[in-house]
Structure 1
Amino acid sequence: MKIIPAIDLIDGQNVRLSQGDYNKQSRMKKTPQEALEFYAGFESVQRIHVVDLLGALKQEALESNLVKELIGQSSLPFEIGGGLRSLETIKQYHKIGVEYFILGTRAITDVAWLKEAAELFPGKIFVGVDAKENDIYINGWTENSGILIDEYLETVEDLNLAGIIYTDINKDGMGLGPNFENTARVNNMTRHKVVASGGIRNKADLDKLESLGITEAIVGKASHNVKFWEGIK
């Protein structure tokens, strides 16, 4: 199982939200720089997942200077999400060394644009499918897109994507475990690699996801707890 620790940013600070609620944020003990140094010590950490939370709301890249600094600090590949609504923004992040790009809102509502992005950066685009039950949410998880997961996956099946990042919003940041059933269901719907995200607490959760055919998982709040890493190389 490949672990992808999350560093979520607001005003340069390392924070976590509960269920995507911007009014329920908590600051992590480690700064982004300290967290990155810690994660780099584990073989199973394959990438670093960075989210520009305010960028997601304001639809623009707000943390590019800090992201550039973090990339300079580590040899690990980075994936970035939050506010990537134009090819110009993707190119801007690519220029500073970001390797993978997480596209959410516009990728959900404008598949023609997603196709263009995937052709420009083949195998480098992850689509963030953030859902409550079967409904995909957009705009920083504040709005129901009116699009269902199964319908959407059919429309992107033939694109050259890096994968689908599936997040159960109701599980995210709650420490109650991921939605195993829906994660497995999404994985069985598509040929694309499905990355689990949201609610992962411990190695047991990772092992169960692996038994369901999931090979990568984004870990947020739990990754800041030293106990999470016990038994993980």
Structure 2
Amino acid sequence: MDVIPVIDVAHGQVVRAVKGERSAYRPIETPIAATADPAELARGLAKLFPFRTLYLADLDGIEGRGRNKHLVPALSHVLPGAEIWIDAGIGSRGASRAVLAAPVATLVVGSESIETARVWTDISAEAPARTILSLDFRHDEFMGPESLLTDSSLWPSRVIVMTLDRVGANAGPDFQRLKDIVSRAGARRVYAAGGVRNRADLDALRKLGVKGALIASALHSGKISAGDLKEVAGQ
């Protein structure tokens, strides 16, 4: 099972995400790093475990303040060889090219940033193998064109189920929704995002057929340890 650490960046600093309420995010305080500098936090994550993938939520890009273009080379320098998944609020094929220009980058397209399913198919056609769809939910409401949720033929080989109101809330994953998406995903790899609290949640997700989980708070709190990561990676 893949465990993917998440770094949320706003105004150039790593912030602690809570329930998707971005206006309330504050610079993170964590035993993993002495400051909220993204590269320093990535360095701390590398000491914890040799992660093969890092998820970067560029909130400045998502909220229209401009992408933190320097972050990919900085993070790649700290985590050589790691694949970096980037969600920067991309809503057009042209904008996707700028993200995909970095060889280590994989584009994450959040359904909340997509106006129509046709826009999604246009974006994903740029680099299908390096594009992931995030199905975004908030308070049981799907955020995005309804057909992206109901028509699984539109899904790429990797799909994230992002439950924003559970992020950093210690509420547990939305197991029922994940079970439904997995049942319709076929051979696609489904990743859970939002609510993962501990090793028990990871084990439960694996039993559902979820192939990976995006986590942040559980790493910073120590509720998921280096030993847990090693054991889960072998499963």
What's the counterpart of residue 62 of structure 1? Answer: 67
RMSD of Structure 2 on Structure 1 (CA): 2.2
Distance change (3 Å), C-alpha of 1:216 and 1:14: same
Asked if the contact 1:2–1:215 (Cα under 8 Å) also holds between the matched residues in 2, the reply is yes
What's the counterpart of residue 15 of structure 2? Answer: 15
Cα distance in structure 1, aligned partners of 2:12 and 2:104 = 17
Task: Find the residue that maps to 1:196 and give its secondary structure.
Answer: strand
Distance change (3 Å), C-alpha of 1:112 and 1:94: same
Task: Find the residue that maps to 1:84 and give its secondary structure.
Answer: coil
The TM-score normalised by the length of structure 2 is 0.83
Asked if the contact 2:133–2:160 (Cα under 8 Å) also holds between the matched residues in 1, the reply is yes
Give the CA deviation at 1:217.
0.5
What's the counterpart of residue 195 of structure 1? Answer: 191
203, 212, 216: which one aligns with 1:216:
212
Give the CA deviation at 1:92.
1.4
The TM-score normalised by the length of structure 1 is 0.84
Between the aligned residues of both structures, percent identity stands at 24
Distance change (3 Å), C-alpha of 1:22 and 1:118: closer
Task: Find the residue that maps to 1:175 and give its secondary structure.
Answer: coil
Give the CA deviation at 1:154.
3.9
Cα distance in structure 2, aligned partners of 1:61 and 1:187 = 34
165, 168, 184: which one aligns with 1:170:
165
Q: How does 1:1-233 map to 2 (within 5 A)?
A: 1-29=1-29, 30=33, 31-41=37-47, 42-43=49-50, 45-58=51-64, 61-74=66-79, 75-105=81-111, 108-132=114-138, 134-137=140-143, 145=144, 147-148=145-146, 151-158=147-154, 161-191=156-186, 192-232=188-228, 233=230
Cα distance in structure 2, aligned partners of 1:49 and 1:5 = 6
Where in structure 1 are there 5+ consecutive unaligned residues? 138-144
Distance change (3 Å), C-alpha of 1:119 and 1:185: same
What's the counterpart of residue 233 of structure 2? Answer: none
Asked if the contact 1:153–1:190 (Cα under 8 Å) also holds between the matched residues in 2, the reply is no
Number of residue pairs aligned between Structure 1 and Structure 2: 220
Cα distance in structure 2, aligned partners of 1:51 and 1:162 = 20
Cα distance in structure 2, aligned partners of 1:88 and 1:170 = 30
Cα distance in structure 1, aligned partners of 2:181 and 2:74 = 35
More strand by share: 1
Q: Which amino acid aligns with 1:11?
A: H
Q: Which amino acid aligns with 1:5?
A: P
Give the CA deviation at 1:86.
2.4
Cα distance in structure 1, aligned partners of 2:226 and 2:72 = 28
Task: Find the residue that maps to 1:129 and give its secondary structure.
Answer: strand
Cα distance in structure 2, aligned partners of 1:200 and 1:17 = 13
Where in structure 2 are there 5+ consecutive unaligned residues? 231-235
Distance change (3 Å), C-alpha of 1:185 and 1:105: closer
Instruction: Give deviations 1:115-174, integer Å, cap 9, x for gaps.
Output: 22222202211111111355212xxxxxxx4x54xx433435155x24211112221110
